[in-house]
A and B are shown apart, each in its own frame.
Chain A
């Protein structure tokens, strides 16, 4: 069974600083990997996804993530954080489950942005 670990429960960064959120996964085959963002009281919005091909994936809102198979990691990065990026971020791994994707989520990293 697949699993996801987000080691940082809470991260605080200054506006304009760079950001990296860590994600490690466990899955026997080639994983499908996702990053979602959730603002307070809202559902999850997809930031980016990796299925195959280029290991550096570009997403919305200036985010990118790099798939590193040797480290079983899929870390999310942004070069310059904006106050509106304050939210909770979820890494997830998907697996084929007979016609649909069964997605397992991490416990999330809450991002605080200070002026």
Chain B
């Protein structure tokens, strides 16, 4: 596989469930990102990992818990979510450096009932 992959592509969960989103990049990048895309709102940066270290947490509620075990994999653990958390969650990766482009995965469409 090439590029950035995300699984699952669709997820429906209840507010009491625990689930995880997975992102994998095959580009040899060192930085990985989670974004949230809600209808009629700009993409919101949630978390950034640079060389496996979390370097940004954009005031994200604790019911979202990221994990980056290595530079190729990024997880987003979800628990006790709210209906307003329903959105498209996008993962991206980039090489480190100020001129490096972010490459995006196809996203996970999350619906919280």
Name A's B-contacting residues (CB within 8 A). Answer: 4, 32, 34, 36, 41-46, 49, 51, 90, 94, 96-108
B94→A90 contact, CB < 8 A? no
A99→B41 contact, CB < 8 A? no
Residue B75, interface by CB 8 Å:
no
A101→B104 contact, CB < 8 A? no
Q: How many residues of B contact A (CB 8 A)?
A: 28
What is the CB-to-nearest-CB distance from B102 to chain A, in angstroms, rounded to a whole number? 6
Name B's A-contacting residues (CB within 8 A). Answer: 4, 6, 31, 40-43, 45, 48, 50, 55-56, 90, 92, 94, 96-107, 109
**A residues in contact with B55, CB < 8 Å:** 97-100
**B residues in contact with A49, CB < 8 Å:** 101
The contact of B104 among A44, A98, A99, A104, by CB within 8 Å, is A44
Chain A binding surface SS class: strand
B41→A107 contact, CB < 8 A? yes
B109→A105 contact, CB < 8 A? no
**B residues in contact with A4, CB < 8 Å:** 42
Instruction: List the count of A-B residue pairs having beta carbons below 8 Å apart.
Output: 63
- Complex CA–CA separation, A103 to B6 (angstroms): 20
The contact of A103 among B4, B40, B102, B107, by CB within 8 Å, is B102
**A residues in contact with B48, CB < 8 Å:** 97, 100, 102
What is the CB-to-nearest-CB distance from A91 to chain B, in angstroms, rounded to a whole number? 10
The contact of B96 among A43, A100, A105, by CB within 8 Å, is A100
CB nearest to A107 among chain B residues? B42
Q: A41-B107, A51-B99 are in contact. List 5 more A-B contacts (CB 8 A).
A: A43-B6, A44-B104, A100-B48, A102-B48, A107-B42
What is the CB-to-nearest-CB distance from B90 to chain A, in angstroms, rounded to a whole number? 6
- Complex CA–CA separation, A94 to B45 (angstroms): 12
B41→A100 contact, CB < 8 A? no
- Name 10 A/B residue pairs within 8 A (Cβ), A-sorted: A34-B101, A43-B4, A46-B101, A51-B99, A90-B43, A99-B96, A102-B48, A103-B102, A104-B42, A105-B42
CB nearest to A32 among chain B residues? B99
